[in-house]
Amino acid sequence: MDILIGLQTANEVILVTSRAISRGVSVLKHDDNKVVKLNSYTAMAYSGEPGDVSNFAEYIQANVALYGLRHGIEMTPNSVAAFTRSELARSLRTRKPYQVNLLIGGFHPREAKPMLAWVDYLGSKVDLPYAAHGYAAYYITATLDRYWKKGLTLEQGLKLAAQCVSELQTRMPIDFKGCDVHIVGKSGIQSADLPPIVVAPGVANKPSEATLASA
Amino acid sequence: MPIEHSFNPYGDSSGGSTLAIAGKDFAILAGDTRHSTGYSIDSRNESQIHSVGDGLLVSPNGFSADARAFVDDVHNDIIWYHHKHNKKLAISSCARSIMHTLYRRRFFPYYVSPILVGIEPDGTGAVYSFDPVGSYEREASRAAGHASELLVPFLDNQVRKANQVDPETGKPLAQHDLDLETALQLVKDAFAGAAERRIQVGDWLEIAVVTKDGHKVERYPLRRD
Amino acid sequence: MSNPSEINGGAAVAMVGKDCVAIASDLRLGLQSVGISGDFEKIFEYNGVYLALTGLATDVQTLSIDFRKKHSLYELREERRMEPQTMANLVSSTLYSKRFGPYFVGPLVAGLNSSTSKPYICSFDSIGCIEHANDFVVVGTASDQLYGICESLYEPNLEPEDLFETISQALMSAVDRDALSGWGGVVYIIEKDKVTKRYLKTRQD
């Protein structure tokens, strides 16, 4: 039930991940970080089988770092996504495949363009303007279909992300202990906070006039 | 090892496919006459089109034992309606009656996908189609049976004009009432295609045309392999 | 979920016309019933030879790259273009090399012979059995629907523009009756010295 959301704005990519680690009915951790920094301009959010996720994330992180050291130039976010995809596709036909779903957010420093790749455990990769994995996708793709548009400012993007998280807080059956936000843009990877959502009193999660006006 | 006994009340003997199109003042019900069980052809000449009285035609397409019982039920219902009410059964009422016939057996259904065609009291041609437990709908066209997946997109395209635009204006083509000649040609083309790709469909194509003056059936050859 | 060929969805069709061939596919990529992307192109070009790959998306991506490598090495070694027939044999042997752990794809090859300009189309099963045809071939989750409508709409020796209309109508009507295919389409009309690529606007459900 981990939450992974990614959305592109005009100049950056926002990655939103839930903080909880839960096993069955218990919450084991409430400040987990599900985003790994792969290089200066590429971050990867992951979810899936416990154990597999951290092992796979470390493996990718190490190989991307190794490439950077060997060649003296960092992999582009697209190359990172393609490499990650091929590793998952290879793993799929082994005795024990990695069961890891990913969102790879990056920024092309030369082309000054953000990119977001959706990758599932089978090794299917799609470049998307906005994406989500797992149960979160069922709840928020409609919100993103409706309110996402090309060329959002960072502020609008964060507001939309907050709207999605607020929707999840209303509808998800367990408390996911809030979300971490990472922004990948021209100044690299940064953490951020979601802006507070003004919820109309008495109506669970009704979008505020301000949110509607800005979208 | 324990010995197990079981009885499956449903068999897999069935007719090929059926297809119906409603026109402005006519309705067409067509079906092939092949009857098969698995890879064996039981009959090359088993009609799927049944006249049940009051100018109504029914095709029961599905498991043939149930299909026969179902047609008898519909036929009897119409006879009893005449005894009780001394008047013709309207097609919309017949459709509702079929719904009850099918839903009565909700937990041991007739394994059939029936189509009912006839003329409405207002003179328009009508096609009613059903699922095995009685959900039904009046439609412009319908296909059932082994080749329904093959026939339906063609009907969408040629009867409902789905995805077609007027080359002059670029606007979507509206569904307009087909004339009988065009409709008959569509039916023949559709079945020729279905017989080409589905082994359960073939031998003969029976086309029944219903008008206010009654119905007549014509036969055309299909592939026999 | 149990059938890998039906997780992501998708369909493709190719047709022969008069001195031309057409190849078309939908644009959907989904996870079961949920649509993920509406610009997942399944047709790949290899120097004038066109290959459609439907089925499991990860295998579609893996194979399209694998064929890119094999095709490039062939042209570098042989110093000539790869014919559609050769491409078909390459696809077949590549798929059969995974006979007991197959790639879950339904491929289609279409092209014109580089010297004779003769149209060539064929389809494959997931382990590389080639199926030749001189009219049309179909693959994907909407293959039944495509068979039905192609059998009725297709006629031989169509001019390029008429072939475009025929293949587009066939594709659109077929994918509209398949929940796993659709979300737009793409059509290539391949003539002797011209290739036209057009996108189709279709129902979005």
* pLDDT tens by residue, B166-218: 989 989 998 878 999 999 999 999 999 999 999 999 999 999 999 999 999 99
DSSP 3-state assignment of B48? coil
Helix axes A154-171, A134-147, angle to 10 degrees: 130
pLDDT tens-digit readout, A106-157:
999 999 999 999 999 999 999 999 999 999 999 999 999 999 999 999 999 9
Contact criterion met (CB below 8 Å) for B215 and B57: yes
Mean pLDDT in chain B? 96
Q: Which of C36, C37, C60, C105 is the best mutation test for A, with the most CBs of A within 10 A?
A: C36
d(CA B224, CA B205): 11
pLDDT higher than threshold 90 for residue A213: no
What does DSSP assign to residue A30? S
**Chains in touch with C (≥3 Cβ pairs < 8 A):** A, B
Q: How large a percentage of chain C has pLDDT more than 90?
A: 99
Q: What is the DSSP string of A158-175?
A: HHHHHHHHHHHHHH-SS-
Average pLDDT of span A46-64:
97
pLDDT at residue C203, rounded to an integer? 96
| pLDDT confidence tier of residue A174, bands split at 50, 70 and 90 | confident
Its domain, for residue B139, covers: 15-221
pLDDT at residue A198, rounded to an integer? 61
| pLDDT confidence tier of residue A204, bands split at 50, 70 and 90 | low
Domain count, chain B: 1
pLDDT higher than threshold 90 for residue A1: no
Residue A49 structure tokens: 């089988």
Termini Cα distance of chain A = 28
pLDDT at residue C183, rounded to an integer? 98
What does DSSP assign to residue B212? T
Helices (H) then strands (E): counts for chain A: 5, 12
Task: Supply the CATH number for residue B78's domain.
Answer: 3.60.20.10
Contact criterion met (CB below 8 Å) for C172 and C200: yes
Residue C155 structure tokens: 């006629």
* CA angle at B93 for the pair B87 and B99, rounded to the nearest 5°: 140
Q: Which residue of C has its CA nearest to A85?
A: C58
Q: Considering the domain boundaries, does residue B6 fall inside one?
A: no
| pLDDT confidence tier of residue A199, bands split at 50, 70 and 90 | low
Which of B162, B164, B189 is opposite residue C152, by nearest beta carbon? B189
Contact criterion met (CB below 8 Å) for A157 and A124: no
Lowest-pLDDT choice from A38-42, A165-169, C5-9: A165-169
pLDDT tens-digit readout, C28-79:
999 999 999 999 999 999 999 999 999 999 999 999 999 999 999 999 999 9
pLDDT higher than threshold 80 for residue A203: no
Its domain, for residue C140, covers: 4-200
Residue B189 structure tokens: 């083309």
pLDDT tens-digit readout, B12-64:
989 999 999 999 999 999 999 999 999 999 999 999 999 999 999 999 999 99
Q: Which CATH architecture has domain A4-192?
A: 4-Layer Sandwich (3.60)
DSSP 3-state assignment of B49? coil
| pLDDT confidence tier of residue C10, bands split at 50, 70 and 90 | very high
Residue where the block lists tokens 């559609």: C84
pLDDT at residue B175, rounded to an integer? 80
pLDDT higher than threshold 60 for residue C11: yes
pLDDT higher than threshold 60 for residue A215: no
Q: Considering the domain boundaries, does residue C155 fall inside one?
A: yes
Q: How large a percentage of chain A has pLDDT more than 90?
A: 87
Q: Considering the domain boundaries, does residue C53 fall inside one?
A: yes
Q: Which of C137, C152, C176, C200 is the best mutation test for B, with the most CBs of B within 10 A?
A: C152
Average pLDDT of span C5-23:
98
pLDDT higher than threshold 90 for residue B159: yes
Task: Supply the CATH number for residue C53's domain.
Answer: 3.60.20.10
Residue where the block lists tokens 């014509």: B218
d(CA A52, CA A30): 20
B189 interface with C at CB cutoff 8 Å? yes
Residue C12 structure tokens: 């493709």
The whole model's pTM is what?
0.94
pLDDT at residue A132, rounded to an integer? 97
pLDDT higher than threshold 80 for residue A205: no
Q: Which of B112, B147, A162 is nearest to C149 (CA)?
A: B147
Q: What contacts B70, CB < 8 A, 6 or more positions away?
A: B60, B101, B102, B110, B112, B114
Q: Considering the domain boundaries, does residue B118 fall inside one?
A: yes
Which of C8, C58, C101 is opposite residue A89, by nearest beta carbon? C58
pLDDT at residue A206, rounded to an integer? 58
Amino acid identity of residue B191, one-letter, is: F
| pLDDT confidence tier of residue A209, bands split at 50, 70 and 90 | low
Residue C182 structure tokens: 């659709």
Backbone φ and ψ for C143, nearest 5 degrees, come out as -65, -35
Shortest CA gap B45–chain C (Å) = 23
Domain count, chain C: 1
Q: Which residue of C has its CA nearest to A132?
A: C36
Shortest CA gap A85–chain C (Å) = 8
pLDDT higher than threshold 70 for residue A179: yes
Average pLDDT of span C170-184:
98
β-strand partners of A8: A13
Q: Considering the domain boundaries, does residue B37 fall inside one?
A: yes
pLDDT at residue C2, rounded to an integer? 87
Average pLDDT of span B116-144:
98
B172 interface with C at CB cutoff 8 Å? no
C36/A126 touch (CB, cutoff 8 Å), yes or no: yes
Q: What is the dihedral of CA A54, A55, A58, A62, to 10 degrees?
A: -170
Contact criterion met (CB below 8 Å) for C77 and C86: no
Q: Which of B16, B21, B50, B19 is nearest to B33 (CA)?
A: B16
| pLDDT confidence tier of residue A212, bands split at 50, 70 and 90 | low
Of B18 and C2, the one with more pLDDT: B18
Backbone φ and ψ for A105, nearest 5 degrees, come out as -110, 135
User: Which CB contacts under 8 angstroms, 24+ apart, belong to C153-159?
Assistant: C153/B154, C153/B157, C154/C15, C156/C16, C157/C17, C157/C18, C158/C15, C158/C17, C158/C18, C159/C17, C159/C18, C159/C20
| pLDDT confidence tier of residue A25, bands split at 50, 70 and 90 | confident
Task: Tell me, yes or no, whether chains A and B touch by having 3 or more C-beta pairs under 8 A.
Answer: no
* CA angle at C148 for the pair C142 and C153, rounded to the nearest 5°: 115
Amino acid identity of residue A126, one-letter, is: V
pLDDT at residue A197, rounded to an integer? 74
What does DSSP assign to residue C4? G
Give the C-alpha distances (Å, rounded to integers) separating C40 from A107, A183, B196, C121, C182.
22, 26, 32, 22, 11
